[in-house]
Amino acid sequence: MKILVVGSGGREHAIVWRLANDPVKHDLYCAPGNAGIAELATIVDALAEDVSAIVAWARANNPDLVVVGPEAPLVKGLVDELAKIGIPSFGPVASGARMEGSKRFAKDVMQAAGVPTARAEVYTDSVAAKEALARFGLPVVIKADGLAAGKGVIVAETFEQAAEAIDDMLVANKFGAAGAEVLIEEFLDGEECSILAMTDGEHAVLLPGSQDHKRIFDGDKGPNTGGMGAYSPAPVVTDDMLEGIKEGIILPVVRELKKRGTVYRGILYAGLMVTPEGGKIALSGSKVNVVEFNARFGDPETEAVLPRLGGNFAEALLHAATGRLKDEDIVVKDEVAATVIVSSGGYPGSYDKGFEIKGLGEAAKTGAIVFHCGTKADGGRVLTAGGRVLSVTGTGATLREAVDKAYTAIGCISFDKMFYRKDIAHRAFDRA
């Protein structure tokens, strides 16, 4: 197949890498890609959010499938525009991407579908929002309604922090249009995990569960990031829970969207909170509650999940995109994967770019997979070009083997101000 992957991060590198490892050879392209993706696919000079440029390329090159990685082009209607010229795409249309693009919309859908989730109220006035805080108690979660580059969710430990977050969004306009509406949401105790469900608008197949680490420092300390590592499977989600998640969370949302006129095709990513006995339980009295939905593959979860998949991945994506998904399309290998993010010093705050990355060849020889997140080629060199720079994945028969392989590879890599967490998968090891 001729396939275009849209995006430039570790998630997209993992998608391209997995397609390149299919049992049949594909003609792979990526827009705009990065230094690592360029080794596997032909780079297309178009930004992921430039819908018109991507559609123009698709019209001229007639790919068999377009796989959309990031959320922004989905929300902007890339899949809708490609459909107009007859190009099948893996990813939801704009009305389905609202599950990520509007937290208010996602709450409405969940409540209509009877999906367990935290209680929330929506405000556009800062005074009314701050008056509502007392009804929620502490901690309390403040969310910008729209896309805010992963920075629009604040878990406030004090009413002062909550009020400051509300004012940042509704008064100071810190997140622009994304913060024009604010959700105040009850805080749920428990352990988070991620479920990526592939759906064709009727059926759904769950990919292996995973768990990521959002905080920047070891011990889950410091500010939230886009994710500092992940591992799959996640022990917090047992096999006997998966069917309940599919039947009680994923499929009710797919059906509710269809009832509203949207056939949702692509990945429906459920960020879940598994509540311990005695913890706060939200709608429907469920132990498993939805924290959020995303409309695409997660990052860095994708880098930990896709190496565990066998079979013909391109065929699975095409079947989902064209309404023909089957359980047999997803083949899971009997192994474990762990991913560690290597970032620029200072991330998720300000950081410098342009440092040469050394040791990538040596890292590859360890057997780990080095996915590029924020890199660019500079002649024969590879330079840092983002906050999250590399996503290093180890696989093995056990989680310990997978984690050790990832860290061994990272030991070969160096660049100025390089930073990474040293405790990825600690929750799983603590549980064991």
Q: Which residues, at least 6 apart from 432, have a Cβ–Cβ distance to it below 8 Å? A: 235
How far is the C-alpha of 66 from the C-alpha of 64, rounded, in Å?
7
65-92 in b/e form (b: 16+ CB < 10 A) is bbbbbbbbbbbbbbbbbbeeeebbbbbb
> Assign residue 85 a region: left if phi > 0, alpha if psi is -120 to 50, beta otherwise?
alpha
**Phi and psi of 74, rounded to 5°?**
-65, -45
C-alpha 400, offset from chain centre: 24
**What confidence score (pLDDT) does residue 108 get?**
97
C-alpha distances (whole Å) from 41 to each of 28, 35, 165 are: 5, 10, 42
SS3 state at 160: helix
Neighbours of 52 (CB within 10 A): 10
**What confidence score (pLDDT) does residue 292 get?**
95
Of the pLDDT bands very low, low, confident and very high (cuts 50, 70, 90), residue 281 is confident
Q: Outline where 233-300 has alpha helix (H).
A: 239-245, 251-259
> What share of residues in the chain are helix, strand, coil (percent, to 5)?
35, 30, 40
Of the pLDDT bands very low, low, confident and very high (cuts 50, 70, 90), residue 320 is very high
Of the pLDDT bands very low, low, confident and very high (cuts 50, 70, 90), residue 20 is very high
How far is the C-alpha of 98 from the C-alpha of 72, rounded, in Å?
10
C-alpha distances (whole Å) from 8 to each of 28, 47, 69, 369 are: 14, 9, 8, 17
**What confidence score (pLDDT) does residue 24 get?**
97
C-alpha 89, offset from chain centre: 18
Q: Which of 113-122, 145-154, 342-351, 416-425 has the lowest mean pLDDT?
A: 145-154
Closest CA to 371 of 21, 3, 4, 2: 21
**Phi and psi of 339, rounded to 5°?**
-120, 135
User: Burial level of 274, CB count in 10 A (0-12/13-18/19+)?
Assistant: buried
List pLDDT tens digits, range 160-190. 999 999 999 999 999 999 999 999 999 998 9
Q: How many CA atoms lie within 13 A of 308 on its CB side?
A: 27
List pLDDT tens digits, range 380-393. 999 999 999 999 99
Residue at 191: amino acid letter: E
List pLDDT tens digits, range 343-352. 999 999 999 9
CATH code given to domain 189-332 = 3.30.470.20
The pTM of the full predicted model, rounded to 2 decimals, is 0.96
Could you tell me if 303 and 393 are in contact, meaning their C-beta atoms sit under 8 angstroms apart?
A: yes
Could you tell me if 307 and 392 are in contact, meaning their C-beta atoms sit under 8 angstroms apart?
A: no
Q: Which residues, at least 6 apart from 425, have a Cβ–Cβ distance to it below 8 Å? A: 229, 231, 338, 399, 403
* Angle in degrees, CA 224, 229, 232, rounded to 5: 125
Hey, what CATH topology would domain 2-93 get?
A: Rossmann fold (3.40.50)
Closest CA to 176 of 195, 154, 149: 149
What is the average pLDDT across 18-41? 98
List pLDDT tens digits, range 226-244. 999 999 999 998 888 899 9
How far is the C-alpha of 385 from the C-alpha of 344, rounded, in Å?
9
* Domain range 336-431, CATH class: alpha beta
Could you tell me if 193 and 245 are in contact, meaning their C-beta atoms sit under 8 angstroms apart?
A: no
The kind and range of the H/E element at 127 are helix 126-132
Locate 417 and state its tokens: 């101000």
- The top-scoring range by mean pLDDT among 151-160, 271-280, 287-296 is 287-296
**Phi and psi of 80, rounded to 5°?**
-60, -45
List pLDDT tens digits, range 55-105. 999 999 999 999 999 999 999 999 999 999 999 999 999 999 999 999 999
Whose tokens are 């009305």? That residue is 95
What is the average pLDDT across 44-64? 98
CATH code given to domain 119-186 = 3.30.1490.20
How far is the C-alpha of 414 from the C-alpha of 405, rounded, in Å?
17
**What confidence score (pLDDT) does residue 179 get?**
94
Mean pLDDT of the chain: 96
Domain ranges in the chain are 2-93, 119-186, 189-332, 336-431
C-alpha 196, offset from chain centre: 9
Closest CA to 96 of 324, 327, 293, 290: 293
**What confidence score (pLDDT) does residue 149 get?**
75
How far is the C-alpha of 275 from the C-alpha of 186, rounded, in Å?
13
